[in-house]
Amino acid sequence: MIHAICKELNLRKVYLQDQPVETIYFGGGTPSLVSAELLSQILVHIHQEFQVHHAAEITLEANPDDINPEALQSWRTIGINRLSVGIQSFDPDELMWMNRAHTASQAHACIPMIQESGFSNFSIDLIYGSPMLSDGQLATNIAIAVKHEVPHIAAYALTIEPQTALAHFVAKGKSAATDAEKQVHQSNILMQALEDAGYEHYEISNFAKPGFRSRHNSSYWMGKHYLGVGPGAHSFNGHSRQWNIANNALYLQSIELGEIPEETEHLTPTQQLNEYIMTSLRTIEGLSLAKLETWGSDHAQSVKNAAIPFLADGRLIQHQQALILSRSGKSWADGIAAALFQD
């Protein structure tokens, strides 16, 4: 697989058209299971095939049970300078209910271990809105992160994906379903607590101490071009999206033949506009009314007209020529974006 990924990097070296690589992200699965030596091979190939910015943000997703002083030192040595840690919760019962591999003690121990190893830039994931999570435990999870001065927190409402064990348990009545009202309520608790602790709520699911926004994820929301490599990886070049086949065996076979196993979707100008509406509304900067004009005055006026009801009820705020979601509006982000979409 590492050989195939490196070969795909060679096959795709013209995709970014010599744009400098500002961020590199190892994710999608559990890359912390891969040895630092193999990760280094990928990084070497990236530097060989692309122009990498000297201060590039290089992130590795890691599970708490994979983190130890030796691994941390190895990751730093090969150039990893940011970690994204899937803690989810510090509560043992909730971790067991979510069928996580790590324990609560590993979740607690990994944060000071990361800090002592010299990583100043890292993020943790937290889940809210699960049937197991009480308001009190949510407050405890937040308090632990704040006490440790975690620089970045990504917080997500629990979703039950189809064809998963959890979806099966819910369908059979063996587990409670998620409750939308509870998720909104706990989202409000989370936003207030992290705001009080000095975090910037710069995107619906992301909170950062000053200077610690995720540069990689921010690039997605700003519509920058990106290249995804490996099975199931997605790429975007401004006018089309590409995604690799997710089947490992078929991916390996295709790459060995010198073929990229991808599908492509060419985006119309209207689709590009709708994507801008969807991603910009999720951010603290909001949807720029000036930028809307690049799609034509008719589309711009139509979006402004569609926004009027949400401005009237306070779910949208107009500030310095931008439409921004209010705190109450954040719970309606997808619906508001859909209402602003253009046909």
Tell whether the model's pLDDT for residue 178 goes beyond 90: no
The pLDDT value given to residue 110 = 97
pTM: 0.93
CA-angle at 121, arms to 277 and 22, nearest 5°: 55
The pLDDT value given to residue 100 = 87
Tell whether the model's pLDDT for residue 162 goes beyond 90: no
3-state helix, strand, coil in the chain (%, to 5): 45, 20, 35
Q: How far apart, in whole angstroms, are the C-alpha atoms of residue 138 and residue 186?
A: 8
Task: Specify whether the CB–CB gap between 58 and 24 falls below 8 A.
Answer: yes
Tell whether the model's pLDDT for residue 176 goes beyond 80: no
How many Cβ atoms from other residues are within 10 Å of residue 256's Cβ? 11
CA-angle at 255, arms to 250 and 257, nearest 5°: 100
Average pLDDT over residues 313-335: 95
Task: Specify whether the CB–CB gap between 238 and 205 falls below 8 A.
Answer: no
Tell whether the model's pLDDT for residue 174 goes beyond 70: no
Percent of the chain with pLDDT over 90: 87
Fold of 270-340: Arc Repressor Mutant, subunit A (1.10.10)
CATH number of 20-221: 3.20.20.70
The pLDDT value given to residue 262 = 94
Percent of the chain with pLDDT over 70: 99
The pLDDT value given to residue 163 = 72
Q: Where are the beta strands (DSSP E) in the chain?
A: 21-26, 52-62, 82-88, 122-128, 152-157, 200-203, 206-208, 234-236, 240-244, 262-266, 287-288, 316-318, 322-325
Nearest to 114 by CA among 81, 157, 146, 141: 81
* Range in 174-178, 268-272, 335-339 with the lowest mean pLDDT: 174-178
Q: Residue 108, Cα to own-chain centre: how many angstroms?
A: 22
The pLDDT-based confidence of 99 (bands split at 50, 70, 90) is confident
Q: How far apart, in whole angstroms, are the C-alpha atoms of residue 178 and residue 173?
A: 12
Tell whether the model's pLDDT for residue 315 goes beyond 80: yes
Average pLDDT over residues 132-153: 96
The pLDDT value given to residue 158 = 87
Higher confidence at residue 174 or residue 328? 328
The pLDDT value given to residue 156 = 94
The pLDDT-based confidence of 97 (bands split at 50, 70, 90) is confident
Domain residue ranges of the chain, discontinuous segments joined by +: 20-221, 270-340
Tell whether the model's pLDDT for residue 204 goes beyond 90: yes
* pLDDT tens digit sequence for 215-254: 999 999 998 999 999 999 999 998 899 999 999 999 999 9
Q: What does pLDDT average to over the chain?
A: 94
The pLDDT value given to residue 172 = 74
The pLDDT value given to residue 143 = 98
The pLDDT value given to residue 341 = 97
Q: How far apart, in whole angstroms, are the C-alpha atoms of residue 69 and residue 110?
A: 9
Residue 15: Cβ-neighbour burial (10 angstroms; 0-12, 13-18, 19+): buried
Average pLDDT over residues 118-138: 95
* pLDDT tens digit sequence for 8-57: 999 999 999 989 999 999 998 789 999 999 999 999 999 999 999 999 99
